[in-house]
Amino acid sequence: MISRFPVIIIVPGSLHKPIHYRKIAEPVRARGYEIITHPVTPSLVVCGDDYVDPATTHLDDAAEIRRNLLPVLEEGKQAIVISHSYGSLPATGSKGGIISVIIIAGFVFPSCGKSIMDDDKEPLNVPYHIVENGVSHLQESAKALFFSDMSPEEADTVWANLFKKQSRKSFTTFPQ
């Protein structure tokens, strides 16, 4: 039996895991919605928590999202995609069966060949990332910025569950 509600797909932001969205997913699921929080994407981790392939881009992440979304759509279900932050880049490439895309604190490419800043320059690195060998490493100085609305104890717990590395190319490859 097909649900009267669409499936809600949550595409996490950079460095986040499905567990970080439980405070959204659990109450919505309790109201009868099927919630799928997208698993890890290739630009974050390939094998275990240690190795990030510096060649992966948001396009690899978009392909992984489509692979995971396809079974839902093939069942004839409709879906709402909710993306957070970086997740908006790969999530907006999904088509067919998607009835709505909701972007939370995200960004999109304004046009082909342009960066998220609408120019042809590589975006500047943020001060709380250190880039080594094509991989951005999240620094602890980001914790207060990312989790300013949480108690220090809750921020520490969430911080402990974040990925701390992502390919730099996932932010710097422009759509063609």
Q: For residues 57 and 41, what is the distance between their CA atoms, to the nearest angstrom?
A: 10
CA distances from 96 to 60, 100, 156, 175 (A): 19, 11, 39, 20
Residue 13: inside a domain: yes
Q: For residues 1 and 89, what is the distance between their CA atoms, to the nearest angstrom?
A: 33
Look at residues 90, 121, 86 and name the one whose alpha carbon lies nearest to residue 105: 86
Task: Check residue 46 and give its pLDDT.
Answer: 55
The answer to whether 104 touches 80, Cβ cutoff 8 Å, is no
Residue 165: inside a domain: yes
Helices (H), 92-164: 143-146, 152-160
Residue 29: inside a domain: yes
Residue 88: inside a domain: yes
pLDDT in tens, 61-99: 888 888 888 888 888 888 999 988 888 888 876 666 788
Residue 35: inside a domain: yes
Look at residues 137, 160, 21 and name the one whose alpha carbon lies nearest to residue 84: 21
CATH number of the domain within which 130 lies: 3.40.50.1820
Q: For residues 14 and 87, what is the distance between their CA atoms, to the nearest angstrom?
A: 7
Task: Check residue 4 and give its pLDDT.
Answer: 78
Q: Is residue 45 very low, low, confident or very high in pLDDT (cuts 50, 70, 90)?
A: low
Residue type at 100 in one-letter notation: S
110 pLDDT above the threshold of 70: no
Residue 2: inside a domain: no
Residue 80: inside a domain: yes
Tokens of 86: 């970086």
112 vs 138, higher pLDDT: 138
Q: For residues 78 and 40, what is the distance between their CA atoms, to the nearest angstrom?
A: 22
Taking CA 13 as the corner, what is the angle to CA 145 and CA 106, rounded to the nearest 5 degrees?
A: 85
Q: Is residue 60 very low, low, confident or very high in pLDDT (cuts 50, 70, 90)?
A: confident
Task: Check residue 117 and give its pLDDT.
Answer: 61
pTM of the model: 0.76
**Structural domain that includes position 118:** 7-172
Residue 1: inside a domain: no
Number of domains in the chain: 1
**Buried b / exposed e along 84-121 (16+ C-beta atoms within 10 A):** bbbbbbbbbebeebbeebebeebeebeeeeebbeeeee
